[in-house]
Amino acid sequence: MTSQSKMTTVDMAFNPLLQPVTFLSPSRRPISIPIPAIDALNDESISTTINYAFQLGSCATLLVIVLIMTPPSKLRRISSLLHVAGLAMCIIRTALLLAFYVSPLNHFYQFWAGDYSSVPRRFLYNSVAGNVFSLLLFITLQAALMHQAWTMVSLWPTLIKLCLTAASATISLLAIGWRFAFTVVQNRSNLDLAPAVSLAWLIETALILNALSICWYCALFNVKLVTHLLVNRGILKSSQTLTPMETLVITNGVLMFVPVIFAALEWGHFQNFEAASLTQTSVAIILPLGTLAAQQISSARSLGYVSSGSNKSSNSSNEREKLTSPSAAAAGFSGLRTTCGSVRLDHFDLELRKIDSTSALANDGVRVDTDLEQRETRI
């Protein structure tokens, strides 16, 4: 009875979900891995691949939209080239990161035994290529952020503009330099199949500078947003529509909080969630998305101005009989010139012209010149 009770107690304490899985190493040494550890790795791998697939699909979709909806002449601009390059590099980087999870480096025996002798070197080179493209993506995004920041502050007072430009360049160059060092350490660790524990301080410094650069540009863009609010007494000049400049200010200011959040999450430890890659991907998506939205609003307004201009031409043809003398024509010309002088463009409108030279604001000025030319022809 005593032996049976002991066996019953042992059976009740046994949990099959917690039992280890045992296999042999090349030296026939048994290796035991608990099932919960195996399940945790599988869950992490699946969630990470879903994360990367989402990033890959988002960047690919936005890249196709940008290429289709942006006129070829505008694609040759520096901002458009940086945005397209950022999306393309993000796609390549994410694809290389995904390739790790379907390679022998992530297979059961190689991972848990720590024996990668049977893994071809080309899979290690794929990991190195992924790290290199992560560096190239980081450099491209820093250049895009600097260019966007310069566009937004180029009409500010010279001293403020120079100080902000110098600070932005210093932060970006420091972040790029430490990111380069981090990439070198990471590639050496991948090729040696050994973690760089002694250089953990370098990796942490690179992460700090990465977060600092993201927070700096977020603060810079939101200073622009606050200034815009103070000038216009609110974001919307109308309750029905947004101007292109307001769209650009909102996207650059508000949406830059998204990569800031991901940069902060990099310092936390969350189960089955990887935030480091999302920081760069969110920047690569936000910048072209905001510019594209502003350009589409600008194009819609341009069509509206063209339509209103044609209506004015038809109405002015009915008034041609009234212009019977040069003095009457001169009076009309003078009145139109007064109307032109009443148009006032603030700094935000002028900045938008740098982003879209064929914007509605630019067409607004051309529309007045066209009317003047029509009056001169009738004279």
> What CATH code is carried by the domain that includes residue 277?
1.20.1070.10
Q: What is the pLDDT of residue 39?
A: 95
Q: Scan for tokens 């660790």, then name that residue.
A: 189
Is residue 316 in some structural domain? no
SS3 of residue 288 by DSSP: helix
Is residue 325 in some structural domain? no
Lowest mean pLDDT of 149-153, 239-243, 285-289, name the range: 239-243
Name the helix (H) or strand (E) containing 32. Answer: strand 30-34
Q: What is the pLDDT of residue 120?
A: 93
Q: 66 pLDDT exceeds 70?
A: yes
Is residue 327 in some structural domain? no
Q: 189 pLDDT exceeds 70?
A: yes
Is residue 341 in some structural domain? no
Rounded to whole angstroms, how far apart are CA atoms 228 and 251? 13
Q: What is the pLDDT of residue 294?
A: 75
Q: 62 pLDDT exceeds 80?
A: yes
Q: 61 pLDDT exceeds 90?
A: yes
CA-wise closest residue to 29 among 112, 119, 105, 106: 112
CA-wise closest residue to 40 among 15, 14, 17: 17
Is residue 369 in some structural domain? no
Phi-psi region of 195 (alpha: psi -120 to 50; beta: other; left: phi over 0): beta
Q: What is the pLDDT of residue 156?
A: 83
Q: What is the pLDDT of residue 113?
A: 92
More confident residue, 362 or 182: 182
More confident residue, 126 or 360: 126
Name the helix (H) or strand (E) containing 310. Answer: helix 276-318
> What's the mean pLDDT in 225-238?
68
More confident residue, 293 or 256: 256
State which residues form the domain around 39: 22-303
Rounded to whole angstroms, how far apart are CA atoms 157 and 190? 48
Is residue 138 in some structural domain? yes
Q: What is the pLDDT of residue 315?
A: 53
The percentage of residues in the chain with a pLDDT greater than 70, rounded to a whole number, is 71
CA-wise closest residue to 293 among 149, 60, 83, 146: 83
Q: What is the pLDDT of residue 71?
A: 85
Domain total for the chain?
1
Lowest mean pLDDT of 168-177, 232-241, 286-295, name the range: 232-241
More confident residue, 347 or 123: 123
| 32 phi and psi angles, rounded to 5 deg | -110, 125
Q: Which residues of 152-178 are buried (b: 16+ CB within 10 A; e: fewer)?
A: bbeebeeeeeeebeeebeebbeebbeb
Its pTM stands at 0.76
Q: Is 136 exposed, middle or buried (0-12, 13-18, 19+ CB in 10 A)?
A: middle
CB 332 within 8 A of CB 375: yes
More confident residue, 52 or 366: 52
Is residue 175 in some structural domain? yes
DSSP string, 73-112: HHHTSHHHHHHHHHHHHHHHHHHHHHHHTTSGGGSHHHHH
Q: 87 pLDDT exceeds 80?
A: yes
Q: 41 pLDDT exceeds 80?
A: yes
Rounded to whole angstroms, how far apart are CA atoms 216 and 264? 13
| 154 phi and psi angles, rounded to 5 deg | -65, -25
Residues in the chain: 379
CB 130 within 8 A of CB 96: yes
Q: 284 pLDDT exceeds 90?
A: yes
Q: What is the mean pLDDT of the chain?
A: 79
Lowest mean pLDDT of 87-91, 174-178, 204-208, 304-308, name the range: 304-308
Q: What is the pLDDT of residue 234?
A: 60
| 81 phi and psi angles, rounded to 5 deg | -65, -40
Q: 70 pLDDT exceeds 60?
A: yes
Q: Give the number of other CB atoms < 10 A from CB of residue 320.
A: 9
More confident residue, 225 or 286: 286
The dihedral of CA 54, 57, 59, 65: what is its sign? negative
Q: Give the number of other CB atoms < 10 A from CB of residue 93.
A: 28
Q: 28 pLDDT exceeds 80?
A: yes
328-346 residue pLDDT tens: 443 443 443 433 444 444 4
